[in-house]
Amino acid sequence: MRRIASILAVVSLLAAAGCSTEIGKHEVSSAGSSQTPVETRPEANLPSIVPEVVQPMPGVTPRAVVPLANLPKSIEESGAVPAAVSLAQQARRYSAAGHYDQAEAALGRALRLEPRNAFVWQALAAAHFAARKFEDAENEAQKSNSLGRGNPYIEMPNWRTIAGAREARGDTAGALQARAQADSLAQQINPSP
């Protein structure tokens, strides 16, 4: 009985919208009476009452476009927990002083607090690049890019790190591609007049 009520409710909604649909061998019109079968395509009437749904490409998660001014530019602006921000700042000081192992340790602790923060991965990539651990630096920069996709403040420095790491490993073509990507993102941040 519930199923019949549900079907009648759907038919009533379609009829109220001026649509018709075939049920069994008969067509139900907006008047609700059965008529002789007619060659109709009920879905042809649906776009007027059903908005078009755009399906994303398989495997691609649609992302909202965020204005550049609203994107975080640093870990301090990223909403990270204060302890992770403090560890990242400490790591910057260690790196500046040439203490890369201490910087890596601080960033490792920050990653335990913020494993999906692209800025922490970016800082770790920079620390590994400074320590001449080029393969690690490239991998971490790519991880940062995947977490921060759509934010040129994350992606541009990462592509520069990737370019430097590839160049240091003798991959000139890869370095050129990465540098071109970084330059394109730099244009997004600071467009030329």
- 42 phi and psi angles, rounded to 5 deg: -60, -35
124 and 173 in a common domain: yes
> Which residues, 6 or more positions from 20, have their beta carbon under 8 angstroms from its beta carbon?
14, 27, 28, 29, 30, 40, 42, 45
One domain for residues 35 and 112: no
Supply φ then ψ for residue 30, to 5 degrees.
-65, -20
The answer as to whether 53 is a domain residue is: no
Q: Is 61 a domain residue?
A: no
Q: What is the CATH number of the domain that holds 118?
A: 1.25.40.10
The answer to whether residue 59 sits within a structural domain is no
Query: Do 96 and 17 share a domain, yes or no?
Result: no
Q: Are residues 57 and 51 in contact, defined by beta-carbon separation less than 8 angstroms? A: no
Do residues 98 and 183 both lie within one domain? yes
What is the residue-level pLDDT of the chain in tens, covering all 193 positions?
555 555 555 555 555 555 444 444 444 444 554 454 544 444 444 444 333 444 555 665 555 566 888 999 999 999 999 999 999 999 999 999 999 999 999 999 999 999 999 999 999 999 999 999 999 999 999 999 999 999 999 999 999 999 999 999 999 999 999 999 999 999 998 887 6
Domain-located, residue 62: no
* Domain extent for 116: 68-189
Q: Is residue 13 domain-shared with residue 104, that is, in the same domain?
A: no
